[in-house]
């Protein structure tokens, strides 16, 4: 008996057992499922993944049950089985899943999996080839290694909120749970590296990341700005701290975003809007950064008589990177979004036909034939695949 029916994607044939819940771990396992892996999501009896209860909004199924749109966002391309890991039956089923899987994901607090009888040593005994991804809030060790991690708390503790907002007095969280999402992305990236190494060594290993590590990992120039130059970045709204003009600028009846990221673009911009590129205090990027408020005032004065559509056309003609600020609805209605496969159609067990945001990666053969996974599974209802998974577990070593 074969559990996976995935025919596309570079990870087809890879089996993943996912013990994680909420968002960081489920996002990682969804990324692996999008790549063609067969993902078995293990959920707790009664309630399942925490996010099944996160809402509104909820969608009401044909059976009268409700499905959380939050859960739908992180669980496509998975199968669900309910296991009580404190029971003998649940532990036995998990042991067999581990034996038959390539990857295990978990985001319990440090020590929880050990207490359930599935320490990393025990998991390696069950399956020496197993790659284990473990995600925590603040790291597995260190003085605060056991601390619970929630995205907004991690955003604050890891510094990203101090860089986001209209001013240093107005720290703001990123509008999506970016720490969770980044931890999932880094986790999936680590799993792929460990699977590649397994081809050479024949053995699995443990991959660890955390919300703290994932956010620090994307500090980018704001990190080296402090570690190398001793200069602390702060929130300053919609304008870049190191490039000017780069940000959101008001015009008639709206605003547009521009990125003047080189002196060549600065000269082209000035030519298009009849400005002097060599004006004292504005001739070079460092000067413009030091005189940012003056530059913003100058640019917005040049834009004052133009509506967004006219202004964007003029910027495009001049070769200046520019864009609008779209609502979420506008993004999903945009032809460019649809052209990139960023919307997928799935058939949900109780909700029927659903449109979901799609995976962000596409794959092509050298001759241009697209090999991206296109047949996607809807996020499962709780325990939807339990019988099929148990039948699979009862068929020896056949995958």
From the candidates 141, 180, 385, 387, which is the catalytic residue? 180
Residue 286: predicted pLDDT: 97
Question: Can you tell me the mean pLDDT for 347-371?
Answer: 94
Sheet with 322-323, strands from edge to edge, namely 246-251, 254-259, 322-323
**CATH superfamily of this structure's domain 246-326:** formyl-coa transferase, domain 3 (3.30.1540.10)
- 180 tagged catalytic: yes
Q: Give the tens place of pLDDT for each residue, 242-300.
A: 999 999 999 999 999 999 999 999 999 999 999 999 999 999 999 999 999 999 999 99
Residues composing the chain: 399
Each residue's pLDDT tens digit, 64-75: 889 999 999 999
Q: Is the previous residue joined to 266 through a cis bond, with omega within 30 degrees of 0?
A: no
Q: Supply the pTM of this predicted model.
A: 0.93
Q: Alpha-carbon distance 250 to 377, whole Å?
A: 43
**Residue 190: pLDDT over 90:** yes
pLDDT digits (tens, 9 = 90+) for 220-231: 999 999 999 999
300-316 pLDDT, tens per residue? 999 999 999 999 999 99
Cβ neighbours of residue 178 closer than 8 Å, sequence gap 6 or more: 151, 155, 160, 215
CA distances from 15 to 20, 257, 399 (A): 15, 44, 9
pLDDT at residue number 383: 94
Question: Can you give the pLDDT at residue 2?
Answer: 62
Domain spans, the chain:
15-218+338-393, 246-326
Range name among 73-77, 208-212, 316-320, 371-375 with the lowest pLDDT average: 371-375
Q: Is the domain covering 15-218+338-393 a CATH 3.40.50.10540 domain?
A: yes
**Cβ neighbours for 285, distance < 8 A, ≥ 6 positions apart:** 243, 244, 263, 266
Residue 399 predicted with pLDDT over 70: no
Peptide bond into 57 cis (omega under 30): yes
Percent of the chain with pLDDT over 90: 92
Q: Mean per-residue pLDDT for 323-329?
A: 96
Which residue carries 């003085």 as its tokens?
Answer: 143
Residue 150 CA to residue 211 CA, distance in Å, equals 8
Predicted confidence (pLDDT) per residue in 94-139, tens digit: 999 999 999 999 999 888 999 999 999 999 999 999 999 999 999 9
State in Å, rounded, how far the first CA of the chain is from the last one.
6
Tell me the pLDDT of the chain averaged across its residues.
95
Q: What is the pLDDT of residue 305?
A: 96
The HSE-up count of residue 146 (CA atoms within 13 Å, CB side) is 3
CB-based contact 123:140 (threshold 8 Å): no
Q: What contacts 329, CB < 8 A, 6 or more positions away?
A: none
pLDDT tens for 22-49 read 999 999 999 999 999 999 999 999 999 9
- Residues 361 and 372: beta-carbon distance below 8 Å: yes
Rounded-to-integer distance, Cα 108 and Cα 136, Å: 7
């Amino acid at each position: 008996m074969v559990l996976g029916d995935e025919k596309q994607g570079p990870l087809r044939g890879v089996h993943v057992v996912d013990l994680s819940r909420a968002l960081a771990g489920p996002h990682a396992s969804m990324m692996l499922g999008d790549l063609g892996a067969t993902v078995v999501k293990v959920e707790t009896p009664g309630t399942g993944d925490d996010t099944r209860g996160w809402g509104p909004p909820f969608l009401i199924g044909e059976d009268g049950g409700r499905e959380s749109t939050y859960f739908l966002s992180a669980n496509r391309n998975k199968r669900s089985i309910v296991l009580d890991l404190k029971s003998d039956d649940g532990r036995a089923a998990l042991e067999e899943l581990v034996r038959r899987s390539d990857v295990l994901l978990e985001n319990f607090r440090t020590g929880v999996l050990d207490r359930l009888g599935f320490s990393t040593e025990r998991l390696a005994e069950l399956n020496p080839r197993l790659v284990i991804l473990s995600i925590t809030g603040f790291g597995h060790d260190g003085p605060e290694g056991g601390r619970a991690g929630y995205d907004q708390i991690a955003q604050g503790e890891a510094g990203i909120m101090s860089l986001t907002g209209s001013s240093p007095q107005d720290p703001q969280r990123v509008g999506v749970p970016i720490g969770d999402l980044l931890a999932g992305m880094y986790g999936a990236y680590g799993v792929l590296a460990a699977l590649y190494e397994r081809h050479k060594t024949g053995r699995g290993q443990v991959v660890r990341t955390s919300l703290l590590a994932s956010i620090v990992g994307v500090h980018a120039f704001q990190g080296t700005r402090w570690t190398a130059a001793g200069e602390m970045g702060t929130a300053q709204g919609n304008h870049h701290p190191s490039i000017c003009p780069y940000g959101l600028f008001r015009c008639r009846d709206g605003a547009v975003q521009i990125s003047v990221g080189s002196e060549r673009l600065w000269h082209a911009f000035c030519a298009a809007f009849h400005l002097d590129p060599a004006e004292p205090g504005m001739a070079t990027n460092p000067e413009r950064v030091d005189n940012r408020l003056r530059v913003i005032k100058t640019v917005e004065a040049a834009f004052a008589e133009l509506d967004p559509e006219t202004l964007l056309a003029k910027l495009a003609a001049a070769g200046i990177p520019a864009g609008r600020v779209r609502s979420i609805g506008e993004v999903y209605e945009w032809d460019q979004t649809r052209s990139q496969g960023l919307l997928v159609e799935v058939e949900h067990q109780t909700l029927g036909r659903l449109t979901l945001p799609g995976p962000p990666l596409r794959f092509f053969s050298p001759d241009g034939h697209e090999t991206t996974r296109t047949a996607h599974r809807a996020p499962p209802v709780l325990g939807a695949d339990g019988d099929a998974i148990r039948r699979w577990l009862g068929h020896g070593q056949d995958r």
